[in-house]
Chains A and B, each alone.
Chain A
């Protein structure tokens, strides 16, 4: 129990990777998943990582989340920052209600019961699920489950949010709405977001900056700021032209593996 502070907003939300390398396995079966990735994410910045599947995006998030160890290089986070991680599947605990799920990180931080109840209610309001606290995950739709997962991650009170294709399994309409929601929460809470997707338009819709990773080994091959004012629409021409540019690069990169 290093910190029981409820508002560690003062903790800086910066994320810095210095020459991060990740090798899976050993000997001739070793896979070089990431090769010397260096990246600076400013506090409050929204960065999208784009790349073909298998290029090491999930690996990178796992490393930043501390669920796995780097093989080389280092990762710097603000003092006492434990980033929150969201997955493509909501990874909710099916044996708990919606409230119970959001309560888990609060319990693990040993907050008093009254305070926890208040926080759970507040977080569920934030994701518009106030009336669904007593439901079980299987009674909700995919989009609702992802919002519960978001609330649960926000319950960590961490300034850094890592998202691994969180909307990949949702239909376009739901995804659109969740983009708006995520953008609102990111602004309100001044979060730093590292968002992985293979949907280039989604990246352009959300990001301050898009980073393109090459495949095998994963390296940063392209990076572009998205200077489109918010609020944005995913079907706007500005977003479209940025997406087209990134898609072009991505195709070239994928084509490189064809020869």
Chain B
């Protein structure tokens, strides 16, 4: 009798693991890391080649005189020269510091605002639509007011950066919290997660993908607002990247102007890539990329 039960148990084990093996066969990814990296890198290299090629063609066609539009070679030389001096790095440091401060501030405001609106129904109707309205406002249109309020200062820039970025971040939080599957919330409550624990164990992680999307969009807004601000609010610092663009234009120094633009582009792309990587990592963990062969 006892041996019977044992045999039964062993048979059940075999059946179960057999079924499991069959059912998850083919779900495991086989591509190596190198292949994945190459697959995501080559389109970017191709895009770069096409852009530089097109630029060179326009220069060769002499649509504009070369002192207005120098070729990639000239600009590259200028960029290398700039990289050897202090001016570019000072400018980059100033701009990045402002970007970081403005963004961190925006994240703080956005997260708090988003949580408050998501949490309290009363705030929803009033502030919810205000956030959406704020998002339609082109950030550059805030500058005249900002300058009236804060004069030509960094505060004016931060004011506009936060107004541009915080609504996107708040929206990310709100939609993230709104779309937490009710089933997961009920499961969480049943497992003993109530009150703050429900936020910690269920709502926050479930909302994370939408929050990251909001953070990414918020960064894009704050970076644009910052550049606009640095172009408009010149004079408070000699060296910011935006100020350098303005000076380069005033001096009609096209290679300097273009090389500065390239630095701005590269910073934007770099931060965007970081957000992209975070987004991908989350979606892979959450299983959204499952079996897409990505």
Interface residues of A (CB under 8 A from B): 62, 65, 67, 82, 84-85, 87, 89, 91, 93-96, 104-105, 107-109, 128-129, 132, 136-141, 143-144, 152-153, 156, 173-174, 177, 180-181, 184
Contacts and interface: CB of A to CB of B under 8 A. Distances in A.
Interface string B258-294: 0000000000000000000000000001110010000
Interface in B193-217: 193, 197, 201-202, 205-206, 208
B189 interface: yes
Contacts of A91: 183-184, 186-187
B3 to A, nearest CB: 16
B54 interface: no
A95 B285 CA distance: 6
Interface string B12-25: 11011101100110
Given A91-B183, A136-B287, A143-B19, A67 B12 contact: no
B61 interface: no
28 contacts: A65-B190, A82-B192, A85-B187, A91-B184, A91-B186, A93-B184, A93-B205, A93-B206, A94-B285, A95-B208, A95-B285, A95-B286, A105-B192, A107-B201, A108-B191, A108-B201, A109-B192, A128-B20, A136-B287, A138-B286, A138-B290, A139-B24, A141-B24, A143-B20, A144-B24, A153-B191, A156-B191, A156-B192
Nearest to A128: B16
B191 A94 contact: no
B16 A181 contact: yes
A143 B23 contact: yes
A138 B287 contact: yes
Nearest to A62: B186
B44 interface: no
A100 to B, nearest CB: 10
B23 A84 contact: no
Interface in B220-276: none
B277 to A, nearest CB: 17
B195 to A, nearest CB: 11
A104 B193 contact: yes
B202 to A, nearest CB: 7
Given A136-B285, A177-B15, A67 B205 contact: no
SS of B interface (majority): helix
Nearest to B17: A128
A62 B182 CA distance: 13
B24 to A, nearest CB: 6
Contacts of A67: 186, 189-190
A132 B183 CA distance: 24
B121 interface: no
B33 interface: no
A108 B19 contact: no
A104 B28 CA distance: 26
Interface string B157-195: 000000000000000000000000001101111111100
A94 B27 CA distance: 16
Contacts of A177: 12, 15-16, 19
A124 B42 CA distance: 43
Contact of A174 (B13, B19, B27): B19
A219 B131 CA distance: 48
Given A137-B287, A177-B16, A152 B191 contact: yes
Contacts of A144: 20, 23-24
Nearest to B285: A95
Contacts of B184: 91, 93
Nearest to B16: A128
B200 to A, nearest CB: 10
A144 B24 CA distance: 9
A87 B187 CA distance: 8
A93 B184 CA distance: 7
A142 to B, nearest CB: 8
